[in-house]
Amino acid sequence: MVHRPSDPRLLLNLISHEKSYSKHLQSLLDSSHASLTSLSAFAATSAQPVSSVILSIVEDFSNADNALCRYKDAVDAWREQLKSLKDLETEIANIARDREILYVLNARIVFQHS
């Protein structure tokens, strides 16, 4: 079975979608941070024991945000790896194209000398 080169548009499409996904994750994190700030302010004005319960909830949400931030960083690293893969595939495609050109030129030279 002959290996056909992949279509670079598919990889570019994936990279584009991963970039959009990362932007949405960042937007979610920004909104969440603003919400946690408001919830913390609300907790500060609340009476005990409600205040300590709300602050405990804020801490749990903050921990979830930290995990989501690490996930977003992993998505960004994945996208960078995809970009590197695209660059390597482009380089290999150029080498294969140049090799084919040289093969055709060499075949013409050999044919002309026979």
Cis-peptide into 5, omega within 30 deg = no
Any idea where the domains of the chain sit in the sequence? 8-82
Give residue-wise pLDDT tens across range 58-96. Answer: 999 999 999 999 999 999 999 999 999 999 999 999 999
Model-wide pTM > 0.85: no
pLDDT classification of 3: cutoffs 50, 70, 90: low
Q: How high does pLDDT run on average in the chain?
A: 92
- For tokens 């495609």, the residue is 93
CA dist 3 and 23 (Å) reads: 35
Paired tokens of 111: 């044919």
The gap between the terminal CA atoms of the chain, to the nearest Å, is 34
pLDDT classification of 110: cutoffs 50, 70, 90: confident
Paired tokens of 39: 């919830």
> Percent of the chain scored above 90 by pLDDT?
79
